[in-house]
């Protein structure tokens, strides 16, 4: 008889079924699969615009932020994308040199710059929008509003709780050194 004992990877009662973490492990596998597919899709969409994945992310962030913010700074984009300001600064430089983004000195703070899409970028992105809409409509077809909201809340929590979980990993690594 082959009996394998495996420690569970989670101990929270609401994530266990009859003491098993099998459903939790399947959820993690689905999250990895989803993340991989999101990255692959982003790569293909970026390629269609002849930009890098990182540039595509900044462009779509600016496209979104211009609808909701009067002044967009590097920090605004970085916070929206949940990345460092230094990462966004490097990408913005390249997008500016390729004619996608305009940088202007902020009228309220001469040390800061405001970002905006160029008119040419807006035209390219407007022409690209129907294609992007068709891709998103196909990919998310059948999702209910309730599912959409639940997934959004779930992912927001996962992002918020990352730093605490990562601190545990760093503690473990520190203890091993």
Domain membership flag for residue 112: yes
Q: Residues near 55 by Cβ (< 8 Å), separated by ≥ 6?
A: 46, 91, 94, 95, 100
What pLDDT was estimated at residue 172?
83
Per-residue model confidence (pLDDT) at position 112: 85
Are 21 and 10 spatial neighbours (Cβ–Cβ below 8 Å)?
Answer: yes
Query: What does the angle CA 53 – CA 166 – CA 34 come to, to the nearest 5 degrees?
Result: 40
Asked whether residue 19 carries a pLDDT value surpassing 60, the answer given is yes
* 66-92 pLDDT, tens digit each: 999 988 999 999 999 999 999 999 999
Please give the average per-residue pLDDT across 136-149, as a whole number. Answer: 98
Whole-number Å distance between alpha carbons of 86 and 6: 42
Better-scored residue on pLDDT, 134 or 7: 134
Count CB atoms within 10 A of the CB of residue 2.
3
The count of domains in the chain is: 1
Q: Which residue has the tokens 């209910």?
A: 144
CATH code at position 116:
1.10.10.10
**Percent of the chain at pLDDT exceeding 70:** 97
Task: List the single range of 57-66, 104-113, 139-148 with lowest mean pLDDT.
Answer: 104-113
**Residue 108 binned pLDDT confidence (cut-offs 50, 70, 90):** confident
**Is 140 within the bounds of a domain?**
no
Is residue 98 included in any domain, yes or no?
yes
| Contact status, residue 23 vs residue 17, Cβ threshold 8 Å | yes
103 is a domain residue:
yes
pLDDT at residue 2 greater than cutoff 60: no
Task: Confirm whether 154 is domain-assigned.
Answer: no
Q: Does residue 41 fall inside a structural domain?
A: yes
Residue 59 in domain = yes
1 pLDDT above the threshold of 50: no
Q: Which domain holds residue 100?
A: 18-121
Q: Does the residue 133 lie in any domain?
A: no
The SS3 of residue 101 is strand
The reported pLDDT for the residue numbered 4 is 61
């Amino acid at each position: 008889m082959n009996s394998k004992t495996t420690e569970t990877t989670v101990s929270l009662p609401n994530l266990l079924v009859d003491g098993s973490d099998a459903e939790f492990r399947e959820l993690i596998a689905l999250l990895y699969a989803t993340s991989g597919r999101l990255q692959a899709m982003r790569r293909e969409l970026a390629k269609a615009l002849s930009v890098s994945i990182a540039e595509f992310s900044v462009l779509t962030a600016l496209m979104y932020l211009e609808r909701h913010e009067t002044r967009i700074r590097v920090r605004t984009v970085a916070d929206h994308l949940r990345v460092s300001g230094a990462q966004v600064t490097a990408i913005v430089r390249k997008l500016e040199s390729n004619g996608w983004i305009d940088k202007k000195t902020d009228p309220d703070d001469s040390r800061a710059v405001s970002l905006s899409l160029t008119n040419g970028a807006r035209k390219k992105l407007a022409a690209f929008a129907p294609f992007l809409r068709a891709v998103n409509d196909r990919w998310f077809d059948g999702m209910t509003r309730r599912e959409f909201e639940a997934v959004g809340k779930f992912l927001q929590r996962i992002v918020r709780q990352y730093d605490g979980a990562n601190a545990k990993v760093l503690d473990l690594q520190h203890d091993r050194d």
